[in-house]
Structure formats: structure tokens, C-alpha cells
Chains A and B, each alone.
Chain A
Amino acid sequence: QTVVTQEPSFSVSPGGTVTLTCGLSSGSVSTSHYPSWYQQSPGQAPRTVIYSTNTRSSGVPDRFSGSILGNKAALTITGAQADDESDYYCVLYMGSGNRVFGGGTKLTVL
């Protein structure tokens, strides 16, 4: 069974930089997994931040960037703001139409 791993929680100071990661329990994440990142605030629907490794969704500030770092996908927020405080989920495409979400990272900005 494929497990997608994310840090359960992370904290960043306002104006700081934070990198969230998305890995696989077995193997490395590559661009072939089309790693994508979604932001979700309490009671709200998810919002697409990054898709296909490093493409920002429409309207997403350029302080958000995506990449592959080592064997994981990464979401970096440079110059974090208070309204970046949310849950962040990554999802990987596993082929044959199947996707697997990570468990999510709760980001605190304080």
C-alpha cells in the first residue's frame, strides 16, 4: 500500500521561509507523480496552490513555489504571511488513474 508522507505540523514566523515536503513510504517522488499542493482553511473547500511540481495556480502569490528536493516534492513559502496559516495537502499521481493524498501539514504562522 502506497503511503504519501507529510510533516504533521510546521511553524513559521511572519516573513520567514518554510518548506513543506511530500514523500513516499517506498521510493522517490518525481515529476511523473505530478506532485500538487492544496491549501485548506477550516470549513473551506481546498484551494489549488501548486500543480505538476512547480506550476502556480491562477491567483496564487509568487511567494509560493514548488520543486523536487532530493527524493521528495516540496512546497516553499517565502515571506510567510498570517493568512498562509492553513492545512496543506499534497497529492501524487500513482498511474492508472489513481491518486494518493498525504495526511496534510498544519502550518502555523506565529
Chain B
Amino acid sequence: EVQLWESGGGLVQPGGSLRLSCAASGFTFSNYGMSWVRQAPGKGLEWVSAISGSGVSSSYADSVKGRFTISRDNSKNTLFLQMNSLRAEDTAVYYCAKQIVGPPFEYWGQGTLVTVSS
């Protein structure tokens, strides 16, 4: 059974940093691309970032480019999102998602809440 478990969310001041983690199990982690998707309170889903199975390739939404960095540790089956220069508009529930062999998302974690506020 595929399981994804996000952690690392919390309250942070504007301009601060936070590192999210997503622990994966139930599949060969290094064989699949992974993504982060967020959802601001009362709003829709927004794709944030994706990384290939090997970790060599990554991509970012324009809204986070230059501030967020996605990475993965395939030896520990863990996905990360380093978030710097946080803004109020980054407040959201952040989900990690396992992709199929290709772009679409297949499985989702339960999410972790990030609140950016002074």
C-alpha cells in the first residue's frame, strides 16, 4: 500500500524559512517522479514543484521559482521542499504526490499546513 506522510509545517514569519518532508512507503521510491501541490485556505489546488525519480530534473511554478527548492533522498525514501523568503500568500496546506510513470499524480499525502504570518 502506497503511503505518503508530510511533516514540517507550522507557523513562520514573513521572510522566514521552512523545510517540508514527505516520507514515502509501499513503492520503489526512486522509480517515480514526485510533486508538491498546495491549497490556500478556501482556494483551489496549485501545483508547486516536481522532481524526477533520480532527482536530476526539477521544475517550479513561477510563483515559487527562486524561493523554493525541491529535493529527494532516495536512500531514505523522502521528498523535501525547502521554502525560503516566505510570504503571506504561501499560506496553504502542502500535499506531496506520487506521479505515475509520467506527469500525472496518482497518490496523495494528507497534507501539512504552512501558515506565514507575523
How many angstroms from the CA of A110 to the CA of B47 in the assembled complex? 31
Pair A48/B105 contact, Cβ less than 8 Å: yes
Q: Which residue of B lies closest to A100 (CB)?
A: B47
Q: How large is the interface on A (under 10, 10 to 19, 20 to 34, 35 or more residues)?
A: 20 to 34
A93 to chain B, nearest CB (A): 4
Pair A99/B110 contact, Cβ less than 8 Å: no
Q: How large is the interface on B (under 10, 10 to 19, 20 to 34, 35 or more residues)?
A: 20 to 34
Main secondary structure of the interface of B (DSSP, over half): strand
B52-80 with Cβ < 8 A to chain A: 57-59, 61
Q: Which residue of B lies closest to A58 (CB)?
A: B106
By a CB distance below 8 angstroms, the chain A residues around B95 are 45-46
Given known pairs A45-B111, A52-B100, A96-B59, the reply for A101 and B47 (CB within 8 Å) is yes
By a CB distance below 8 angstroms, the chain B residues around A45 are 95, 108-111
Q: Which residue of B lies closest to A90 (CB)?
A: B45
Digitize A64-80: 1 where CB-to-B-CB distance is under 8 Å, 0 elsewhere. 00000000000000000
Pair B103/A93 contact, Cβ less than 8 Å: yes
By a CB distance below 8 angstroms, the chain A residues around B44 are 87, 89, 101-104
Pair A97/B57 contact, Cβ less than 8 Å: yes
Pair A99/B47 contact, Cβ less than 8 Å: yes
B83 to chain A, nearest CB (A): 18
Which of B's residues lie within 8 Å of A, judged by CB? 35, 37, 44-47, 50, 57-59, 61, 95, 100, 102-111
